[in-house]
Amino acid sequence: MNITDNVRYVGVNDYDIDLFEGMYVVPNGMAYNSYVVLDEKIAVMDTVDKRFQKAWLDNVESVLQGKEPDYLIVQHMEPDHSANISAFAKRYPSAIIVATRQAFVMMQNYFGTDYAEKRLVVGDGDTLSLGGRTLSFVTAPMVHWPEVMMTFDDKDKILFSADAFGKFGTTDTDEEWACEARRYYFGIVGKYGVQVRNVLQKIANLGVKTICPLHGVVLQENVQDYMSLYQTWSGYEAEDEGVFIAYTSVYGNTKKAVELLELALKKRGVKTVVCDLARNDRAEAVEDAFRYSKTVFATTTYNGEIFPFMREFIYDLCERNFQNKTVGFIENGSWAPMAGRVMRERLDKCKNLQFVEPVVTIFSAVKDENVQQIEALADALS
């Protein structure tokens, strides 16, 4: 695939993977992206997952057409991108490896060598001339590893963005970018909003026309729209007005209360999205909690605590800096409902949460007074 006349795609699609990073469901597979920049000197941008070593090296060789690459630029040391550095160095022994100082420390840890005899250490603002174009390096620490950098091609105005602006799914998956990019962002990068903002500020005036991430599709149109979404996500701002209801239910009574709240909100014209945490993808639930302006947590008291799926969900949100939301609660307990208090205590560590009343308190089954509470909660959320 040609990105431009002199920038070629040499990555691979993984159609067999079921869990990315052993955690995230990827029904449409995963792409491990790599690129070759052809100029007076030739640079290869990153490698791919170790399972695709042969396919990737064949792709690189096909694009080189007998030429030797001058550089391998390593932007990120996570193994799905760095696993084939040694294979590349063996195939092309004269090529210089370009990376941050911390990346070379990681190479020593992974491969037993830091390539001292054939390396070029670069930092923020450093440049590398390939002849007709100059590559500029933008360090991106903790987006989402400490050694990460991005690379900007000043001729074609391409930002090689490491894991930023990536998404789940292969390059030939036909789907809306934002959905799987959002799930990817909040699952993997979401904790590091401040660091993402810092990098966005660095690249704001580069005049980027194309973004080449290490996962997902190449972004060549409406680039500012993607950057705008990253501004929203990294600022923990609501992307859409609406209510996201996350719930667990043991015998169906909490679920009934959630259904009544959903109906009440929709009657009031409020966009409402509901997730059963026991049955739906938790990464998607995390995504929606950050996406919408308001969240309702509904669960049962369980062993004097809260139901495990809800406990883990709230942990995931807090770990990723959940903030700037309006929050409501539905609790259930047959003799001593404690879920509302426990959820509130766990969320108190989050910034800028507005807790609304009433807390809907159910003793075993939904009763007339609960219906009134649900209507009042719907009013408070509207």
**For 316-333, what is each residue's pLDDT tens digit?**
999 999 999 999 999 999
**CA 90 – CA 362 distance, rounded (Å):** 66
Residue (of 213, 262, 270, 250) closest to 365 by Cα position: 250
pLDDT at residue 336, rounded to an integer = 86
Whether the per-residue pLDDT at 116 is higher than 90: the answer is yes
- Dihedral pair phi/psi, residue 220, rounded to 5°: -120, -10
- Longest CA–CA span in the chain (Å) reads 78
pLDDT at residue 304, rounded to an integer = 87
Tokens representing residue 209 in the block = 């026309």
The residue type at 29: G
Total structural domains within the chain:
2
253, 214: one domain: no
pLDDT at residue 48, rounded to an integer = 98
254, 203: one domain: no
pLDDT at residue 308, rounded to an integer = 96
Tell me the residue range of the domain where 113 lies.
2-234
66, 205: one domain: yes
pLDDT at residue 353, rounded to an integer = 98
53, 161: one domain: yes
111, 15: one domain: yes
207, 282: one domain: no
Please compute Rg for the chain using Cα positions: 24
Select from 234, 267, 300 the last residue of a domain.
234
Q: Give me the residues paired with residue 149 across strands.
A: 139
Select from 197, 212, 234 the last residue of a domain.
234
**CA 215 – CA 269 distance, rounded (Å):** 37
- Calculate the CA dihedral of residues 37, 38, 41, 46 and round it to 10 degrees: 30
Question: What percentage of the chain has pLDDT greater than the value 70?
Answer: 100
Q: How confident is the model at residue 191 (pLDDT cuts 50, 70, 90)?
A: very high
pLDDT by residue (tens digit) across 142-172? 999 999 999 999 999 999 999 999 999 999 9
Whether the per-residue pLDDT at 178 is higher than 90: the answer is yes
What secondary structure letter does DSSP report for 20?
A: E
CB atoms within 10 A of CB 68: 11
**CA 151 – CA 161 distance, rounded (Å):** 7
**CA 318 – CA 22 distance, rounded (Å):** 21
Whether the per-residue pLDDT at 187 is higher than 90: the answer is yes
208, 256: one domain: no
Q: How confident is the model at residue 101 (pLDDT cuts 50, 70, 90)?
A: very high
Output the domain CATH number for residue 295: 3.40.50.360
155, 285: one domain: no
Output the domain CATH number for residue 80: 3.60.15.10
pLDDT by residue (tens digit) across 47-100? 999 999 999 999 999 999 999 999 999 999 999 999 999 999 999 999 999 999
300, 349: one domain: yes
Whether the per-residue pLDDT at 380 is higher than 90: the answer is yes
Helix 282-291 vs helix 308-319: crossing angle, to nearest 10: 50
Whether the per-residue pLDDT at 119 is higher than 90: the answer is yes
* Cis bond before residue 69 (omega within 30° of 0): no
CB atoms within 10 A of CB 302: 19
80, 159: one domain: yes
Whether the per-residue pLDDT at 2 is higher than 90: the answer is yes
244, 358: one domain: yes
36, 185: one domain: yes
**CA 210 – CA 222 distance, rounded (Å):** 9
Residue (of 1, 36, 35, 40) closest to 133 by Cα position: 40
Region 280-293 average pLDDT: 97
Whether the per-residue pLDDT at 335 is higher than 90: the answer is no
**CA 195 – CA 213 distance, rounded (Å):** 17
**Cα dihedral 278, 280, 282, 286 sign:** negative
pLDDT at residue 13, rounded to an integer = 98
- Dihedral pair phi/psi, residue 243, rounded to 5°: -115, 125
pLDDT at residue 183, rounded to an integer = 97
Long-range contacts formed by 63-67: CB under 8 A, 24+ apart: 63/8, 63/10, 63/36, 63/38, 64/36, 67/42
Whether the per-residue pLDDT at 226 is higher than 90: the answer is yes
Which residues have a Cβ under 8 Å from the Cβ of 207 and sit 6 or more positions away?
157
- Secondary structure (3-state) at 352: strand
**CA 339 – CA 299 distance, rounded (Å):** 7
Select from 195, 218, 234 the last residue of a domain.
234
